[in-house]
Amino acid sequence: MPKKESLQHKIDRVRPPRVQITYDVEVGGAIELKELPFVVGVFGDFVGKPEEPLPGLKNRKFVEIDPDNFNQVLAGMAPRLAYTIDNKLQDDGSKMGIELRFKDIEDFEPDRIVQQVEPLRKLVEARQRLADLRSKMDGNDKLESMLEDLIANAEKQKAISSELGIDGENGQIKRRISSQNR
């Protein structure tokens, strides 16, 4: 019966290792060259600011990570960042609390991070609405003249703002209950 080949030797055929650690051993008067497998373990706190305390170091186990299970391992770790930062969106010196959660590798992309921060998400949505309006205005002379008239006339701006439930002075949406929703 042929000797079963180890996984390490199968991998050697496909992709030779970059690190090879060998040592000489004297066996029965002859010197043999033995190779040690190169295994790396990384130990650290990669969760950020967990909601629940982590188990003690002696109770933690190594987790094998590969490209196929990376998102599952990341979701199991549930990394979270929670900070209070300067609110650069308003010039009043206020602070803003943010909380970011990461369940898969795509959550690190800028668009996904923006979706987790409410004021930034609203700005991106407003930007998208403006881009939609600009595309509708392209070649639409009637709409363009109506908007120019609206911009020039303060009374029309107030009327439309009150109709839409927007505070015309600072652009905040008023809380109101329309008669249709009762």
Output the six-digit token pair for 164: 């839409």
Q: How far apart are CA 127 and CA 129, in angstroms?
A: 5
- What confidence tier does 167 reach under pLDDT thresholds 50, 70, 90? low
- pLDDT for 69 equals 92
pLDDT tens, position by position, 24-36: 888 888 888 888 8
Q: What angle do CA 132, 134, 140 make, to 5 degrees?
A: 110
Share of the chain above pLDDT 70, in %: 81
For residue 172, pLDDT beyond 80: no
Write out pLDDT tens, residues 51-104.
Answer: 888 888 888 888 888 889 999 999 988 899 999 999 988 888 899 999 999 999
The single-letter code of the amino acid at 53 is P
Enumerate the domain spans of the chain: 7-36
pLDDT score of 165: 76
Q: Which helix (H) or strand (E) holds 149?
A: helix 141-152
Q: What type of residue is 33?
A: L
State the distance between the two ends of the chain, measured CA to CA, in whole angstroms. Answer: 82
- Selected residue with higher pLDDT from 14 and 92: 92
Write the CB contacts of 157 (distance below 8 Å, at least 6 apart in sequence): 150, 151, 168
pLDDT digits (tens, 9 = 90+) for 113-138: 999 999 999 999 999 998 998 888 88
